[in-house]
A = this chain, B = another copy of it.
Amino acid sequence: MNVTPLDESVTLERTIEGGTEKQRESVSSIIEKVRENGDKGLIELTEIFDRVTLDELFVQQEEIDEAYNQVNDKELEAIRKAIENIRDFHQRQLRQSWMVTKEDGTMLGQRIIPFDRVGIYVPGGKAAYPSTIMMDAIPAIAAGVKSITMCSPPGEDQRLHPMVLVTASELGIKNIVKIGGAQAVAALAYGTESIQKVDKIVGPGNIYVALAKREVFGQVAIDSIAGPSEIVVLADETARADYIAADMLSQAEHDELASAVLVTTSEGLGKKVAEELERQLEDLPRKKIAEESLDKHGAIYLTETMAEAVEAVNRLAPEHLEIMTAQPDNLLGSIRHAGAVFLGPYSAEAVGDYFAGPNHVLPTSGTARFSSPLGVDDFVKRSSVISYSKEALEENGEYISAIARIEGLEAHARAVDIRKGEK
């Protein structure tokens, strides 16, 4: 990888894949089938797409017990510690309802109310993604959501991955449905005989899951459809090239579209990072993916000054930002746009991906300009409360009807007047 001067037109913006016409049609017909045939439709679609005939839609306690036998102590301890950290962070995001009272008897308030029901989609496949479950479910649990339904596609043995079951069980998730794909999204959005419809669906998935989420949006809320993952590392000459390269590779190994970018004021560091990338790539299991990602979407940019580098970061608005400079804290106040900021040499992105506490579901493709990490806010809504006394209405009524009449809405004005005995 070459060290190149920063190009101002560089962006992390990506077009989010809209799927082919055929994929969209397929998703529509799957959703239709679930709406029409309910549980029976789910069983049939799972036979077609997952090549397995389910005896039960829901995971039974016995399967959970068996799953615990297949997870080793170290793994279980790691999951438990991660849950503790992630729960602690998200509980701090909870807001209280509040109320203001005035002397004229007015009472105004803002209630914070959790959603009734949330659905979480967890992708299947050979690897298990316990972090997905933790990061999607814990904010909902911390928000106070009482009913959480998790859906994930079954393996050929009708089972879910033991790590998935254990993580869900540790979180207290009771409704686990062995259904994946667009059919899972349809079941969560519209409900079936055995699955209650939810208010919001979150979680990553393949193109069919993404298209289905887009199609049911409005019927239910959904999380944003994530683009490829990105990291920007902001570094000066004091940074360790081997750490930076390791973190860039941990981003690049996700998939070929992932983007790992270094912005530095030090040409020397840039060159060392390029060397380290070569060296560390060598024996990486996912070398091919990481290599393609670095080739196509990786970069090492050189700027003259740190101010210029910071401005570039704000322009890019990266999902993950690592600051590895002599005084990383001093730069934090200048960073306006980044999903999560990792400060200093020991804050590897992996620390935040799995363990530290903040959410790993972050705004991608430059949307950190106006979007936030997944959090408790995504599972509560605000509701306003207005209570006016007779006195308050009599005192302020003339102003209210004046504005109503400016807007040409006479019935609004009269609704005030009638209470003043004027109509």
Contacts and interface: CB of A to CB of B under 8 A. Distances in A.
A224 to B, nearest CB: 9
A136 interface: no
A64 to B, nearest CB: 17
A369 interface: yes
Most B Cβ at <10 Å: residue of A254, A337, A375, A419: A419
A282 B117 CA distance: 45
A108 interface: yes
Interface of A: 16, 74-75, 77-79, 81-82, 88-89, 92-93, 95, 98, 100, 106-108, 110-111, 113, 115-116, 126-131, 163, 199-200, 218, 220-221, 242-243, 246-247, 249-250, 252-254, 280, 284-286, 290, 328-329, 332, 335-359, 362-363, 367-373, 375, 377, 381-390, 392-393, 396, 398-404, 406-416, 418-419, 423
B393 A346 contact: yes
Nearest to A252: B411
In the A-B complex, list the 3 residue pairs whose CB atoms are closest, starting with the nearest.
A358-B384, A78-B399, A343-B387
Contacts of A286: 409-411
Contacts of A131: 403, 407
Given A345-B419, A390-B346, A416-B351, A381 B368 contact: yes
Please report whether the interface of chain A is mostly helix, strand, loop or mixed according to DSSP.
mixed
Most B Cβ at <10 Å: residue of A163, A359, A403: A403
A383 B339 contact: yes
Contacts of A410: 253, 284-286
Contacts of A412: 250, 253, 349-350, 353-354
10 contacts: A78-B398, A78-B406, A113-B337, A127-B407, A163-B406, A243-B419, A347-B386, A350-B400, A350-B416, A372-B383
Most B Cβ at <10 Å: residue of A337, A347, A390: A347
A350 B402 contact: no
Contacts of A250: 409, 411-412, 414-415
A126 B407 CA distance: 9
A317 to B, nearest CB: 10
